[in-house]
Amino acid sequence: MGKIRIVSRPEPNAVPDFPEPFHVRSVGSNESDCGWSESVPGRKKQFVQLFWTLKGCGRIALPDREIVTREGEVFYHLPGEDHRHGTIGKRWHYHWFTFDGPRAAEFMSSYGYSRDSRYAGECPVKLFLELELLLRERTPYARRHAVAVAAEILALAGGGFSSHGPGNVVRRFIEIAQESQLDTRLSASRLAKELGVHRTTLNRLFQQEMGMTPGSYLQELRIQHALSLLRETELPIKAVAAECGMPYAGYFCRLIRRVTGFTPAVYRKLGGVD
């Protein structure tokens, strides 16, 4: 059979009446052996359930097709969907949590995640265990915190940075860029050299992970810093430009106007109309 662990709120089928975007209902894990399967009609599953495979492989039967979920992959059911799952091979080990409420399905769908099983990276086991502790605590703070932890899992389900390989290069670029954004000599070429990769390789990896070039990311950092200085300080415009690594005031003014629709002076006068 395997090992099943479930932690749920008191009266899990009664939706709480306190105001939250959704309510975490239960959380757990399943280490299912070869031959394990379940088939539960949708009328008994009036909640969103997200599954994250830790090890092994499983199958999910949908009305129109069957999909396979593997290590590091995520899939989910919306309220009222039949649950027909089974283990493929020797073992399927996954973590899961459920949430409900009037807007639960809308909240899940708003992420735009595919209804197929999709790769999201290493299962965040610590977050699932934290949800278990919060459900056991049963305080108002724990209920609110559970929503935040669940939302973090949902965000990671979209695919975060990996701790190795291409994702790590991009993560290190971002970390160094944020730490050194006040350095006027900062450039994508300089950071590529520091990271030990060719500039072309960095461009390709950055586009793949972030959907923009490293240079565009650095420019966005500088623009956001400039807008903060314009809103929150009285530094002269030229000083703000220099502080953000853009020593040519004319170019700086054109850039701020393109982004905000106002010159730096007018943007500051209006109090920062982003």
> How far is the C-alpha of 97 from the C-alpha of 252, rounded, in Å?
49
Look up the CATH number of the domain holding residue 228. 1.10.10.60
| Same-domain check for residues 96 and 144 | yes
Inform me whether the pLDDT recorded for 228 exceeds 80.
yes
Q: Are residues 138 and 185 in the same domain?
A: no
Task: Single out the residue in 156, 177, 201 at which a domain terminates.
Answer: 156
| Segment 160-185 mean pLDDT | 70
Regarding whether 230 and 140 lie in a shared domain, the answer is no
The per-residue pLDDT for 163 is 47
**CATH number, residue 104:** 2.60.120.280
121 lies in the same domain as 22: yes
* Amino acid 60: pLDDT: 93
Same domain for 263 and 210: yes
- Judged against a pLDDT cut of 70, whether residue 189 lies above it is answered with yes
Mind listing the pLDDT tens digit for each residue in 120-150?
A: 888 999 999 999 999 998 888 998 999 999 9
225 and 149 both lie in a single domain: no
Residues 140 and 20 in one domain: yes
H/E stretch holding 91 reads strand 83-100
How many domains are contained in the chain?
Answer: 2
Q: Is the pLDDT of residue 168 over 80?
A: no
- Of residues 8 and 181, more confidence is placed in 8
Highest mean pLDDT among 131-140, 163-172, 237-246: 131-140
Model pLDDT, residue 134: 93
Residue 145 · residue 34 · CB < 8 Å: no
Q: Are residues 199 and 112 in the same domain?
A: no
User: Has this prediction a pTM greater than 0.75?
Assistant: no
Q: Which domain holds residue 214?
A: 166-269
Q: Is 163 exposed, middle or buried (0-12, 13-18, 19+ CB in 10 A)?
A: exposed
| Same domain, yes or no: 150 and 184 | no
pLDDT greater than 70 at residue 251: yes
pLDDT at 16 over 70: yes
Q: 198: which 2 tokens?
A: 């060719």
pLDDT in tens, 76-107: 999 999 999 999 988 999 999 999 999 999 99
Residue-level length of the chain: 274
The reply to whether 137 and 15 lie within a common domain is: yes
Name the burial class of residue 175, with classes exposed (0-12), middle (13-18) and buried (19+) by CB atoms within 10 angstroms of its CB. Answer: exposed
Say yes or no: 191 and 108 in one domain: no
Q: Bigger pLDDT: 207 or 98?
A: 98
Among 171, 208, 211, 214, residue whose Cα is nearest residue 192:
214
Residue 274 in domain: no
Tokens of 118: 């999709």
Q: Pull the structure tokens for residue 225.
A: 């810093």
Strand pairing category for 83-100 and 23-33: antiparallel
Residue at 256 is within a domain = yes
- Whether 161 is in a domain gets the answer no
Instruction: Note whether 175 and 257 are same-domain residues.
Output: yes
